[in-house]
Amino acid sequence: MPAISDPTSEKTVLVTGATSGIGLETVLALGRLGAFVVVAARDPVRGQSVVDQIERGGGRAELLTIDLASFTSVREAARRFLAAHARLDVLVHNAGVALRRREVTADGHERTWQTNFLSGFLLTRLLRPALAAAPAARVVSVTSEAHRNGRIDWENLELEKGYGGFQAYSNTKLAQVLFTRELARRERRMFVNALHPGAIATGIWRELPPWLRWLPKNFLPSPGWGAAPVIRLSSSPELDGVTARYFRRFREAEPSYAGRNDADATRLWQVAEQATGAAKS
């Protein structure tokens, strides 16, 4: 795979959910490819361990502590990043949760919706100055084929009525696909794409009933297999200029009909602005 950095400029990459699974394999690989890696993680101990691992391999990295279930934490993380970095070349939205039972955050939002979608939206908006300063910034959202099961119900976006864990997860993945579409429309100088990395044995399955947890571990591919298409979208020169696309691993695919609804994409952007306070940012 070609190096992410060119001879004259080092690229800065920020990856959320970088302490395990696909995120961990992604930051380790991008560190080896020459990127300066910002390890965005909720747990500072685990995050620093990943930074140390990258540096032991000859790469350069730093820790950015962030809790995507807290808008205050997202804002503080963005403030710290912007204070230390003039530009951001690649932003990878990888962090995500899947919950069996409905939980509400301190911000008043369903936890899956906030963690998987709203906070990624807010982080992107807050980091826009650094993304705009890069000559060809990339924004990559790790979504899922589960988006095809997602629904945008304007009267029940956060599933106050009829909560189901898989439905909540699917809805956030559809929201990410629509966010990709709208961000690409608004930011013509950024390359914005979403991808399904494949069904992977990662920690997102920890909420499965105990008797089912052995299935992903024994029958799904490893996180390294899932990270490969994320690394490609983040670094490959052959994708320069490619934007507003959805990939199923390495191949471009058409998202669901709901994922191609431009009116919903625009309205969801406005809803997210209000929910996160990003309209005032």
Catalytic positions are: 169
Token pair of 262, please? 């431009």
DSSP annotation of 211: G
Residue 208 burial class via C-beta count within 10 angstroms: exposed 0-12, middle 13-18, buried 19 and up: middle
HSE, side-chain direction, 13 A CA sphere, residue 168: 25
Residue-wise burial string across 83-114, b where 16 or more C-beta atoms lie within 10 A, e elsewhere: eebebbbbbbbbbbbbbeeebebebebbbbbb
**CA separation for the pair 9, 145 (Å, rounded):** 35
Q: How big is the chain, counted in residues?
A: 281
Q: Which residues pair with 12 in a beta bridge?
A: 36
Report how far apart the first and last C-alpha atoms of the chain are (Å, whole number): 38
Identify the three-state secondary structure at position 182.
helix
Say how far residue 46 (Cα) sits from the centre of its chain.
19
Picking from 186, 188, 173, 193, the residue whose alpha carbon sits closest to that of residue 236 is: 193
Token pair of 249, please? 């691993």
Picking from 57, 23, 18, the residue whose alpha carbon sits closest to that of residue 224 is: 23
Cβ contact 182:113 at 8 Å: no
